Structure 1
Amino acid sequence: MNNRFEEFEDFEAWSTSAGRSDPREVVESYSAFKNYISEHSKDRSLEKFLGVGQERTEILQFMFNAFVSGNLPQLFRKREDANEVLGAAWSSKVFSEAYKILSLQNVPQFEGLDREYLAHIARESVEPRNVIYLPEKLREVGVILVHERVPERAKIDGMVALLGTGHPVVGIGFRYPRLDFYWFTLLHELSHIVLHLDRLASPILDDFEAGDRVSAVEAQANRLAKNSVVPRHLWRNSSVHYNGGRETIIEFSKQIGVHPALVAGLLQRELNRYDRYRSIVDAVDLREVVFTGG
């Protein structure tokens, strides 16, 4: 086994295997997890993402928790060929960061979200730098938002789950730096909280480029995310459909109170023409805004 993966022998295997009183079962789970990690020990993307020291140990600890609870096989629900271990590592990092936030911040208990709140939060998109303050804003309603770039090669855009404390956690992976992609991902994951809270004991990881047939649950979240940006009747009757010039898009975005990139992104997806409106959707590099203060 790669020696870089030996450090998880310090795991508190007994405490993380809650509900497993049989020592043999704990040992078997631990051995199986070591084998699982060993199979991926030469993955450079995984190695780079895990890093070193305490942070590395914490990620592996959360991965082990997911492994013994049976959540690892469920992480990817949309495509069987997705890179499971990268998804497990990234979601484990999101969980680790979420619990750190809960331990350091006074986060109120989650009391629920509604559709009106999603429409309200979408209006924050009008100023790109507002994304920096969204984690604090969502904490006010008991939702933990974690900005964490996904590992290289990982086909993951976002995730949502329910923590043991009852707080929802949303992870945004910044696979792409586009403003509209960030907002669609965020609103999609928040839509799961509004619509599917009872299903979030196991995390949902989303890959919006998956070519599979979209499930009913995902279609519902997509629809609510879109309606949060622009109400259906306004979108259906908008002049951007027959006069989709730059000025028309900008004017319509002002009318509905969102950034023009969100309107341009909706048009790209609707027309399946991702070569159009590039000057609008590529105008802001959100990775620079969030991670380097650009």
Structure 2
Amino acid sequence: MELRVIKDEVQYAALLDEAKEIALADPSKGSPSAERLEVISLLLENYESTRFLLERPDPIDAVVYRMAELGLKQKDFADIIGSRSRASEVLARKRPLTLEMIRSIHERLYIPAELLIGQSREVGVTVEEDWTLFPLKEMKKRGWFENEEGKTGEQLIKSFFSRTSSNSAPVMLRRSLAGDSGASDSHALYAWIARVLIRARELKRSDIRYVSGSITDEFLRQLSKLSGSEQGPLLAREFLAMKGVVLVVEPHLPKTHLDGAAMLDEDGTPVIGMTLRHDRVDNFWFTLMHELVHVQRHLGKGTAFVDDSESAGRDKTETEADIFAAEAFIPRQIWKSSDAYRLKRADSVKALASSLMIHPAIVAGRIRRETNNYRILKEFVTAGGLRELFGLHS
């Protein structure tokens, strides 16, 4: 097949399959197959770097915009989905769209169904909704509440969530959850997000403000080199603080499958939360870089990206974050031509890591992920040490 610039998903899928087939054949350097693989890799890289850049509009924003365009009121929307109360809750982001609603909206408002499905899994939680759904016992155990004496469980939950707002008014955490968080309990997720925001305000440096656009590709490459140090994770936290980005390490709550998250505080400060659920060097660095790509490319007010690194359902935004996170550590051209990629041996892993000044666990972790073979190179990705480094109890 003649090689041309990729213009659609069909061409992309065909070239991706061919690249995998050639790579598995392990062609020798300089051979026609190796040269063809290099050209295909460049074409794939070019397409991947542009295909994910357009951020999908929020489904509710799309509905509101279309209603305004057609001169429709909330009562008209109620007729479309069959209930006034549901219409009110959907537009207030208190109730997610169901498949039946999506079908009806698509047919009546002519909004593409794929846009209505969107990337948001949940749009907000209210304490009034049912405070008993929050993991109160675990939150108490971790000391998340202030002045507990004499307060009821409902009062504790309301007071806790009010601390996520600068004016202490709302008892709702209204954020769309994007990303991959597996089959996590939404109330536990929102409680964890609130805790991360509260802690971020305690850690935030008052003398440094985040400047939009300062998380550049070059900055990410510089950050990646800190991984070579035993104190690298702590250095990374300081390095990010100098840019006005707050890194919070907070263990995940039961019923959540969470490695990291990225969000903006009310004042525009980027906040990255990490759980260290997998106490491994490769997982820490890849998760951190993944969340930083969200800050760089995707993050907007009112949205939190919550990520489970083991989730199988990666959408386009998550795939983009994976691609650019991997690129920050090992550029594609270097990766495809490396002995580590071809041979997958311990000595080649060490050699590539040394040349790039990154931790060898990152190289080994990439090989394990891409081959889906977690039995190899185990000596590089053993668990332990990070929780102690951040002062957490195992």
Normalising by the smaller structure, the TM-score range is 0.7 to 0.9
Whichever of the two has the greater Rg, that structure is 2
* Paired letter, 1:90: W
- Structure 1 residues 126 and 54, CA, compared in 2 at 3 Å: closer, same or farther? farther
Contact 2:286 2:326 in 1 (8 A): yes
Cα gap change, 1:283/1:52 in structure 2, threshold over 3 Å: closer, same or farther?
Answer: closer
Query: How much has 1:292 moved relative to structure 2?
Result: 5.3
Distance between the aligned counterparts of 1:105 and 1:32, measured in 2?
31
Residues 263 and 96 of structure 1, relative CA distance in 2, 3 Å threshold: same
Structure 1 equivalent of residue 270 of structure 2: 168
In the other structure, the counterpart of 1:271 is: 371
Q: Identify the residue that residue 184 of structure 2 maps to in structure 1.
A: 82
Cα RMSD of the aligned pairs, angstroms, is 2.9
Counterpart position of 2:133: 39
Work out whether residues 110 and 143 of structure 1, in 8 Å CA contact, stay in contact via their aligned partners in 2: no
Q: Structure 1 residues 92, 254: closer, same or farther in 2, change over 3 A?
A: same
Distance in 2, Cα, partners of 1:146 & 1:66: 23
| 1:108 equivalent in structure 2 | 209
Q: 1:141 is paired with a residue of what secondary structure?
A: coil
List gaps (5 residues or longer) in structure 1: 1-28
Task: Specify the code of the residue in structure 2 equivalent to 1:184.
Answer: F
Could you tell me which amino acid in structure 2 is paired with residue 86 of structure 1?
A: A
Give the drift of 1:132. 1.5
**TM-score (norm. length: structure 1):** 0.78
Q: Distance in 2 between matches of 1:115 and 1:275?
A: 32
Q: For residue 387 of structure 2, give the secondary structure of its aligned residue in structure 1.
A: helix
Shift of 1:138: 0.7
Which is further off, 111-120 or 148-157?
Answer: 148-157
Q: CA deviation at 1:54?
A: 4.9
Aligned-partner Cα distance in 2 for 1:168–1:261: 27
AA matched with 1:287? R
Is the counterpart of residue 125 in structure 1 residue 227 in structure 2? Answer: yes
User: Structure 1 pair 105/147, CA: closer, same or farther in 2 (3 Å)?
Assistant: farther
Task: Indicate which of 272, 278, 288 corresponds to 1:186.
Answer: 288
Contact 1:125 1:259 (8 Å CA) reproduced: yes
Secondary structure of the structure 2 residue equivalent to 1:174: coil
Q: C-alpha separation between the residues in 2 aligned to 1:259 and 1:236?
A: 18
1:17 is aligned to none
CA, structure 1 residues 293+237, in 2 after alignment: closer, same or farther (shift >3 Å)? farther
Cα distance change, pair 169–40 in 1 and its aligned pair in 2 (3 A): closer
Residue 61 (str. 1) matches residue 162 (str. 2): yes
Secondary structure of 2:390's match? helix
Judged with a 3 Å threshold, the aligned counterparts in structure 2 of structure 1 residues 77 and 242 are, in CA distance, closer, same or farther, namely: closer
TM-score normalised according to structure 2 size: 0.59
SS of 2:247's equivalent? Answer: strand
Residue 243 of structure 2 is aligned with which of 141, 150, 158?
A: 141
Letter in 1 for 2:312: G
- How far off is 1:52 after superposition? 4.5
Amino acid at match of 1:95: L
Deviation at 1:208, TM superposition (A): 1.8
Stretches of structure 2 lacking an aligned partner (at least 5 in a row): 1-93, 95-124, 149-155
SS of aligned partner of 1:85: helix
Question: Which whole-Å CA distance do the structure 1 matches of 2:356 and 2:322 have between them?
Answer: 19
Cross-structure match for 1:255: 355
Letter in 2 for 1:208: S
Question: Corresponding residue for 1:13?
Answer: none
CA 1:217 to 1:293, structure 2 compared with 1: closer, same or farther past 3 Å? Answer: same
Task: Give the match's secondary structure for 1:145.
Answer: strand
Among 190, 207, 210, which residue is 2:311 paired with? 210
Identify the structure with bigger relative contact order (alpha carbons < 8 Å, sequence gap 6+): 1
Task: Tell me: CA distance 1:54–1:154, structure 2 relative to 1, closer, same or farther (3 Å).
Answer: farther
The percentage of counterpart residues that share the same residue type is 24
Aligned length: 259
